[in-house]
Structure 1
Amino acid sequence: MRIDVLTLFPDMCEGVFGTSILGKAREKGIASLNTVNFRDFSGNKHNSVDDTPYGGGGGMVLKPDPIFAAVEHVLAQSSNSGEEGNAAEDTAAMKPRIILMCPQGRTYNQQIAEELAQEQHLIFICGHYEGYDERIREHLVTDELSIGDYVLTGGELPALTVIDSVVRLQPGALGNETSAIADSFSTGLLEYPHYTRPAEFRGWKVPDMLLSGHHANIEVWRREQALQRTLERRPDLLETAELTVKDKQTLKRLQEQASLQKN
């Protein structure tokens, strides 16, 4: 997977790209993580990438020309790389998703992460100032994403959040390939609780079931814990989660127990 980030502050990204899971994925060649300073494509002697909005109003707006030029530069790089190492059809298949990080976009979730993890090339556009020239939205990007209903000073932190969640899903990125499968939201439910050594800490004991060695029963326990945790903390997820008949029976029992405890 190739990921390019268009940003005015490459150092914000490079520091993250070189550490932890992302750093290891980069070293192993699992993900190519690159930054592009779109100020380099300003095309004017002042290197300005923003201007006042037509019609008046506060703040500055990112101009379309440096963003378009930077994306076209990345696409040319990608195309040349394909000619050197891959067949022409492979290059064609690498048509990237161009993602604008903005508060108006789709709210990001694990399902979108899994969708993007199937792509070969992602380009992120990280803005600052008041906003983007609308022609960037209309004629360049393929996706608009938001990480929540709040406004940040720029798109770098949201982009890094998305990149981290996507790269960790790439084969070989995590030490344990089963880790991502049981993550919260990957199954439609919140994840079950985890415990490790010591078996007793300050009087708090690990549940006996996890010490039993009976793996089938442990899986049943974990599923019930995931259902209970989701019911308590994010009941909205249960509306779209894929539930078996047994899951529904378990949920009914948990709801009855919760009702009795309230009464």
Structure 2
Amino acid sequence: MQEGQSTQGHEHEHRSDTVILPAPTPWPLVLALGLALLITGMVTHWVISLLGLLLTLRAIVGWFFDIFPHELHVAVPVQTGVMKISSTRTTREQLPVSAEHRQILPVETFSVVSGIKGGIVGGLAMIVPAALFGLLKYHSIWYAVNLLAAGGFVSWASASTAFLCQFHLEGLLAATGIHAFTSVLIGLLYGAMLPMFPRKPILTAGFVAPLLWTGILYSALGIISPVLNARINWLWFVISQIAFGLVCGFIVNLQVKVRTPQFRALPFAVRAGLHSDVPLTKDEDL
């Protein structure tokens, strides 16, 4: 009986002084290295892939025997103690403030449909300066269309100027898809951005945003489309962007705004448009 009690006490002492954790194993790292070498050898040399295959197989076998038939564990000693948490900060009485001491913006915004409408109309307006540029410089309205489509066709990378000035149905379809997709995306961005700048929306939509897009695209176009980067005329591109921004911003501002959840969080007097110097409490809010 005493021997059984001593054994039970020993087990209890072992459980309180140690924590059983999974044993550390290097095989996941070896497996990752093997897979990396296996893939690297596909573009370098087959010997590297062979080395990666050997490491992968060895890691799979080693990791398997670390788990089956029984998981490997280690006993980690722990020390228990009481930790006292104290703070040197002192509490101060806060000044009473109303629930409206912070502005919750925006209380109204444009719907998704407003951004789509603005993007479509702005995209149509952007076609005018682009076609005018091709007509004045290359005597063809199809130059800008084919130049935009050239980013999606590898075979058009070395196309001549005469080729880009001709009408191509596949170029028209590709350029229409690219232009429509990007115009709608930028229109949605305008619909979300313009409520943040309610004082001067035309300045933001017509000049600030187009110059910002142009700067970002100028630094990344060489990677996105080298063909377009080598042939683009940045002056006319900025003019087209400004035309898009002015028209898109104008169309978006014509749409009816919808109220956001921030508006519903305002007190009833503010939502109803009542003017009162007496602040309403939460209980008086309807």
Q: Do the two structures share a fold, i.e. TM-score over 0.5?
A: no
**Hey, which of these two has a bigger chunk of strand by percent?**
1
TM-score (norm 2): 0.21
Which has the higher Rg, Structure 1 or Structure 2?
2
**Hey, which of these two has a bigger chunk of helix by percent?**
2
